[in-house]
Amino acid sequence: MTGTTPDFDAVVIGAGFSGIYMLKSLRDKLGLKVKVYEAGDTVGGTWYWNRYPGARCDSDAYIYGFTFDKQLLQEWEWSERYPEQPEILRYLEHVAKRHELKRDMQFNTKVIGGEFDEQNNLWTVHTDKGDNVTARFLIAAVGTLSYTNVPKFKGFEKYKGKWYHTSQFPHTGVDFTGKRVGVVGTGATAVQAIPEIAQQAKHLVVFQRTANYCVPARNGKVDPEVTKARKADYDNIVKRIRESFFGQEHYFIPKSALEVSADEREREFEKKWDAGGFAYWLANYQDMFFDQKANDLCADFIKRKIRSTVKDPRVAEKLIPKGYAYGTKRQPLDTNYYETFNKDNVVLVDAKTDGPIEEITENGIRAGGKEYPLDIIVFATGFDAMTGPLKALNLRGRGGRTLDKEWGDGPHTYLGVSVAGFPNFFTITGPQSPSVLSNMPVSIEQHVEWITDLIDNMIRSGKTTIEATPQAQDQWVKHVNEVVNATLMVTANSWYMSANIPGKPKAFLPYLGPEGVGGYRKKCDEVAAKGYEGFNLA
Ligand SMILES: Cc1cc2nc3c(=O)[nH]c(=O)nc-3n(C[C@H](O)[C@H](O)[C@H](O)COP(=O)(O)OP(=O)(O)OC[C@H]3O[C@@H](n4cnc5c(N)ncnc54)[C@H](O)[C@@H]3O)c2cc1C
């Protein structure tokens, strides 16, 4: 780089859904010079890293994809309702190829730092491969569930067997045949993986910290007539999901669970249960997330289902969630999960009743005073969600400020897309945006298009920097917290609440706006229409 001419107009970090579309928009719509850095050896993000048995999306595939490419919406055929990881990866590879994106992507390269040069208004970005490049704009497309969490169990280093984390699974797969396997964790990933591993392993021990409310996925082939009708109606579907609460075609029942008769309630519950997927979670009675009594009714129905599926009443009791409201943790979708605990080769070790994991030993795991010998341990322990991958960028904004320090008590953002003191830096589906509470591609496309318009606007009006004002940021943080404090979400020790990782400051990470994804989009558009209200443009 010479003088103040940057090497790139924009650097994008990450090549999952977000990085793919961000590059496409800035390069092909605005004609900018863009570089994408990606730690993995190809595109895909989540669908490149998470290769555990049973890995698949939980969003219905017909809405789990890009909508900017209308021709592709018509051409692409998903093989089932929730395709598996290799198929989604194939889709993202196809998009990258179709739009010739890889020529501006550098793989196997991790961004390890960056600082804002206040004199020249440029970001300098450093990678683990020795790149030191400058760019006017820096965009984090680093994902929300991309920073692996391996709990620091005592004795880990002593273990002589093999261990894997689900989000960094070997590309060659793992053969569990004839092995004694332990799975640590019972979140959405584990609920997908456990039934698959149980089919292969000689013996499977599941270590549960908190029992989850699982609802049936009901995966399978989609009726070709349904697919045909959806393809004919895509423009309306896209409009509907963009305006919806969760970026999906799920809508609350506009009634209280408490105002209807027990018969009517039971009929509705069964209907949602039969529909499968997120219907029971996101299309239930409208007071389910607000009223403990309404929530109890929804929860009791699931508890009855668990009791009727799991044959050993003692095991069923361990699998019954206790002490938190239904729906306040990420909803796992169940394909033979509860049935798996009827198998003779599967044992459930519950932290509350059997005792928590005490240590990893040379031969396995000791929990509740008992050692479980294991050949393989699979950690399905999730992520340092949302803030983890952003903090790991080691960015320095104005005056050398860091996200670590600025976010010492939880995230502080404006609209979940920018951070005061970090000019020209944007976070796609960042903390305090709907993000993980939505069907992600909808939120990703919204952020990418909003950021693209903003940059276009800046270029046209000759502005060089934009940054959130501390006042606008404070107001947004206050609003995010006020909204969520009125719900039951704050009662759970969930990763949404940053509670999965010891020492992580307790804060609600996404944004549960009063009108969801649709209302949030309106808010962002209003901010833009008012000349980027809440931002300083210079
Ligand atoms: C198992 C699993 C299932 C999921 N299922 C669904 C679902 O059904 N529906 C849904 O809406 N969402 C789902 N999600 C969320 C999913 O992450 C998003 O849908 C979507 O894939 C996110 O795309 P992204 O590009 O924003 O982030 P990611 O796909 O996470 O991509 C981020 C990329 O950034 C890279 N990166 C991060 N930091 C750096 C760095 N410092 N330097 C270089 N590269 C870096 C990472 O390597 C990664 O490739 C799921 C997540 C997981 C883990």
Residue 145: its pLDDT value, please?
98
Count of H helices and E strands in the chain? 17, 20
**Containing H/E element for 227?**
helix 224-232
Structure tokens at 397: 């904004």
Atom of ligand 1 nearest to the CA of 444: 26
Could you say which DSSP state residue 156 is in?
A: G
Q: For residue 228, give the 3-state DSSP assignment.
A: helix
Residue 1 has what pLDDT? 37
Between vectors from CA 19 to CA 536 and to CA 519, what angle results, nearest 5°? Answer: 55
Helical segments of 276-311, H only: 279-282, 292-309
**CA–CA separation, 414 and 519 (whole Å):** 16
Q: How far does residue 142's CA lie from ligand 1's centre (Å)?
A: 7
Q: Which pLDDT does position 111 carry in this prediction? A: 99
Between CA 40 and CA 43 the distance in angstroms is 7
Alpha-carbon distance of 185 to 154, in angstroms, equals: 17
Q: What stretches in the chain show pLDDT beneath 70?
A: 1-3
Q: Is 442 in the pocket of ligand 1 (CB under 6 A)?
A: no
The answer, yes or no, to whether any atom of ligand 1 lies below 6 A from the CB of 39, is yes
Please tell me if the CB atom of residue 517 comes closer than 6 angstroms to any atom of ligand 1.
no
Pull the structure tokens for residue 10.
């924009």
pLDDT attached to residue 4: 79
Contact 114, 125 (CB under 8 A): yes
Distance 139 CA to ligand 1 centre (A): 15
Rounded to whole angstroms, the maximal C-alpha distance in the chain is: 74
Closest C-alpha to ligand 1, atom 26:
143
Which residue from 20, 43, 46, 166 has its CB within 8 A of the most atoms of ligand 1, so it is best to mutate? 46
Angle between helices 440-461 and 516-529 (to 10 degrees): 0
Residue nearest to atom 12 of ligand 1 (CA): 440
The Å distance, Cα 405 to ligand 1 centre, comes to 25
How many angstroms separate the Cα of 305 from the Cα of each of 161, 320, 322, 348? 37, 10, 15, 18
Q: Is 141:22 a contact under the CB 8 Å cutoff?
A: yes
Is 512 touching ligand 1 by the criterion CB < 6 Å? no
Task: Please enumerate in sequence order all residues whose Cβ is within 8 A of that of 162, keeping only pairs 6 or more positions apart, or say none.
Answer: 174, 375, 376, 377
Q: Give the list of residues 6+ apart from residue 458 with CB closer than 8 angstroms, or none.
A: 464, 466, 537
Cβ 143 under 6 angstroms from ligand 1: yes
| Ligand 1 in reach of 208 Cβ (< 6 A) | no
CA of 123 to the centre of ligand 1 (A): 24
Does ligand 1 lie within 6 Å of residue 146's CB atom?
Answer: yes
Residue among 93, 440, 509 to mutate when testing ligand 1 (max atoms within 8 A of CB)? 440
Three-state DSSP state, 48: helix
- Contact (CB, 8 A) for 102 and 73: no
Per residue in 486-535, pLDDT (tens digit) is 999 999 999 999 999 999 999 999 999 999 999 999 999 999 999 999 99
How many residues comprise the chain? 538
Query: First and final CA of the chain: distance in angstroms?
Result: 23
Residue 196, pLDDT score: 98
CB 393, CB 140: distance < 8 Å: yes
- SS3 per-residue string spanning 473-511: HHHHHHHHHHHHHCCHHHHCCCCCCCCCCCCCCCCCCCC
Cα–Cα separations (whole angstroms), residue 321 to 239, 325, 327: 36, 9, 11
* Burial zone of 171 (CB within 10 Å; 0-12 exposed, 13-18 middle, 19+ buried): exposed
Task: Confirm or reject: Cβ of 16 under 6 Å from ligand 1.
Answer: yes
Atom of ligand 1 nearest to the CA of 18: 25
Which atom of ligand 1 is closest in space to residue 40's alpha carbon? 47
Evaluate: CB of 192 within 6 angstroms of ligand 1: no
429 Cα: distance to centroid of ligand 1 (angstroms): 10
Residue 340, classed as helix, strand or coil, is helix
Query: Is 38 near ligand 1, meaning CB less than 6 Å away?
Result: yes
The predicted pLDDT at position 12 comes to 99
Tokens of 244: 């919806």
d(CA 186, CA 133): 42
Q: Give me the phi and psi of 522, to 5 degrees please.
A: -60, -45
CB atoms within 10 A of CB 468: 25
Look-up: residue for tokens 């300098």? 124
The answer to whether 383 and 148 have CB atoms below 8 angstroms apart is: yes
How much is the pLDDT for 2?
37
Q: Please tell me the distance between residue 145's alpha carbon and the centre of ligand 1 in angstroms.
A: 6
User: What type of residue sits at position 11?
Assistant: V
What pLDDT does 56 receive? Answer: 98
**Is any ligand 1 atom within 6 A of the Cβ of residue 454?**
no
Phi, psi (deg, nearest 5) at residue 410: 115, 170
CB of 432 within 6 A of ligand 1: the answer is no
**Is the model's pTM score more than 0.95?**
yes
Q: Which has the closest alpha carbon to 141: 8, 24, 5?
A: 24
Residue 144 DSSP label:
S
- Going by the DSSP 8-state scheme, the letter that residue 395 receives in this structure is E
Cα four-point dihedral sign 88, 89, 93, 99? positive
Q: Relative to the CA of 55, which ligand 1 atom is closest?
A: 1
Q: How many whole angstroms from 363 Cα to the centroid of ligand 1?
A: 33
pLDDT digits (tens, 9 = 90+) for 280-331: 999 999 999 999 999 999 999 999 999 999 999 999 999 999 999 999 999 9
